[in-house]
Amino acid sequence: MHIVVSHPNADLDAFASVIAASRLYPGSVPVRSVMLSPVVRAFLALHKDRFPTTRSDEVDAESVTRMTVVDVRVRGRLKEQAAVLERMDRGEVAVEIFDHHPATSDDIHCAAEVVEPVGACVTLLVERLRAAGHCPDPVEATLYALGIYADTGSLAFTGTTGRDAAAVAWLLEQGADLRLMGRYLHRDLSPEQRRTMVSLLGTIETTEVSGIEIGTVIHPLTEKVNGLGEVVSRVQNIEGVDALVGFFVSRGGRIDIIARSRVAWVDVGDLLGRLADGGGHAAAAAARARAEESSPEALRERLLTLLNADPPRPRRVEDLMTSPVRCVHPDLPLHALRDNLAEWRHTGVPVSSDGRLVGVISRRDVEKAERDDALDEPVGGRMSTHVHSIGPEDALEQALELITTRDVGRLPVVRDGAIIGILTRTDLLRCMYGKAG
Ligand SMILES: [Mn+2]
């Protein structure tokens, strides 16, 4: 028997991937985890008959000869397939993997691995279905598109690739139903999720690590709550912290650690991988620990120690500014400035006197003076003295905000009144598109 499996608490991408892989291999048996995420349960409430699956605890491991694993490859997350994996280790089961997660030390390995950093795992399978000439009907196309939308935040998360978008485009052509997808993508929180959220909001602790706001919260679970990740995301948004790590202690003594980050310089996947048994993506990760081995308080302490030992550092103005900076004196005649700008290929320069910033002047100001036949005038008479400047230690975000809201092309960088560098719109653009240091 050939089975197709994924991780426990299957989310939309995992479930869609299982179904897609089972279509790719006619005759294979799609297997679902014992527990499903709330959104998959809601989807199946309506679609169960369209997508019949076998529960993982109903699979006879001895009869499995081949296993396709999708959206996961960490052995620790494949406990429901432990018996089949043992047979794989003995060479009795051929295994194949389709996954899009970063590597961990606990990964299973096999001869047939398709591991590519696309936004959703189901994208890898949709590409293969399409190449094989399989035409999904609208219901099936809707499921696959849901998987992609769920894992890529409707194609908006930073991990999204052109391949995910191309897969969505094809699925829409096959009749994927956006109205139905909206039903499952924007679901209200369950009553348990809401109760948990309210209690988290009252108990979150905020710590500042080198200018980054990190929220942590320890929460004893008095009831079963599905979809804790969504709760953590929403609490993070409401509290406005850069990253939030929740330690959820269940009555059985298990600690589920769930983390979300919305800034590029805090990689919670890496952080949780070093803290406990788990990992994930830079923006969303989960890990697990046992309360008898480590208390949630001790884990939180260790998390902050890890962060302080290797503090995440947002980019600062001084990382990107040009220094030293070419300045001109207010007494310089405008015709000389025109020649300087052409030679330096600058569109503007700060004006300084005795090292102090007194204004800025741009090529546009010079062009206007030229039209006024006033090129013999000094720079000082035509410069703008209302200058926005920024400090070298300020965050790049702040510079971006200034350049955006004030619509200025260059920001002189000033320390104690003295001009020490300049940051231009071009510098920021290059940095934002990842082409500079
Ligand atoms: Mn996934």
> So what's the pLDDT on residue 2?
97
> So what's the pLDDT on residue 437?
39
417 exposure class (CB count in 10 Å sphere: 0-12, 13-18, 19+):
exposed
pLDDT in tens, the chain (437 residues): 999 999 999 999 999 999 999 999 999 999 999 999 888 998 998 888 889 999 999 999 999 999 999 999 999 999 999 999 999 999 999 999 999 998 888 999 998 999 999 999 999 999 999 999 999 999 999 999 999 999 988 998 778 999 999 999 999 999 999 988 988 887 778 889 999 999 999 899 999 987 789 999 999 998 888 789 889 999 999 999 999 999 999 988 999 999 999 887 788 988 999 998 887 777 888 999 998 889 999 999 999 999 999 887 777 899 889 888 999 999 999 999 999 999 998 888 999 999 899 999 999 999 999 999 999 999 999 999 988 999 999 988 788 888 878 878 889 999 998 899 999 888 887 776 654 43
d(CA 73, CA 70): 8
Helix (H) or strand (E) holding 419: strand 418-424
Distance 310 CA to ligand 1 centre (A): 29
Distance 411 CA to ligand 1 centre (A): 42
CATH domain 191-309 topology: Diaminopimelate Epimerase; Chain A, domain 1 (3.10.310)
> So what's the pLDDT on residue 433?
65
Distance 126 CA to ligand 1 centre (A): 13
Task: Give bridge partners of residue 353 from the DSSP assignment.
Answer: 356
Burial 80-89 (b: 16+ CB within 10 A, else e): bbeebbebbe
> So what's the pLDDT on residue 281?
77
Distance 99 CA to ligand 1 centre (A): 8
Distance 345 CA to ligand 1 centre (A): 48
Which residue bears the tokens 């400090």?
391
d(CA 393, CA 415): 9
Distance 122 CA to ligand 1 centre (A): 8
Distance 208 CA to ligand 1 centre (A): 31
- Compute the half-sphere exposure of residue 220: CA atoms within 13 Å on the CB side of its CA: 7
DSSP state of 384: B
Query: Could you tell me which CATH number the domain at 2-185 has?
Result: 3.90.1640.10
From edge to edge, which strands make up the β-sheet containing 29-32?
54-55, 29-32, 2-5, 66-70, 94-99, 112-115
Q: For residue 157, give the 3-state DSSP assignment.
A: coil
Distance 264 CA to ligand 1 centre (A): 20
C-alpha to C-alpha distances, 419 to 84, 351, 381, 404, 415, nearest whole angstrom: 67, 10, 20, 22, 6
- Amino acid type, 90: R
C-alpha to C-alpha distances, 183 to 42, 151, 186, nearest whole angstrom: 10, 16, 6
Distance 16 CA to ligand 1 centre (A): 10
Paired tokens of 354: 């005795």
Distance 164 CA to ligand 1 centre (A): 12
**Do 2-185 and 318-432 agree at the fold level?**
no
Distance 329 CA to ligand 1 centre (A): 59
Query: Could you tell me which CATH number the domain at 318-432 has?
Result: 3.10.580.10
Whether the Cβ atoms of residue 427 and residue 436 lie closer than 8 Å to each other: yes
Whether the Cβ atoms of residue 112 and residue 96 lie closer than 8 Å to each other: yes
Distance 121 CA to ligand 1 centre (A): 5
* Domain range list for the chain: 2-185, 191-309, 318-432
Distance 76 CA to ligand 1 centre (A): 16
Distance 37 CA to ligand 1 centre (A): 13
d(CA 61, CA 58): 9
C-alpha to C-alpha distances, 59 to 14, 15, 36, 62, 240, nearest whole angstrom: 18, 17, 17, 9, 45
Closest listed residue to residue 364, CA positions, set 344, 343, 349, 385: 349
Distance 13 CA to ligand 1 centre (A): 5
Distance 195 CA to ligand 1 centre (A): 27
Q: For residue 11, give the 3-state DSSP assignment.
A: coil
- Amino acid type, 28: S
Distance 14 CA to ligand 1 centre (A): 6
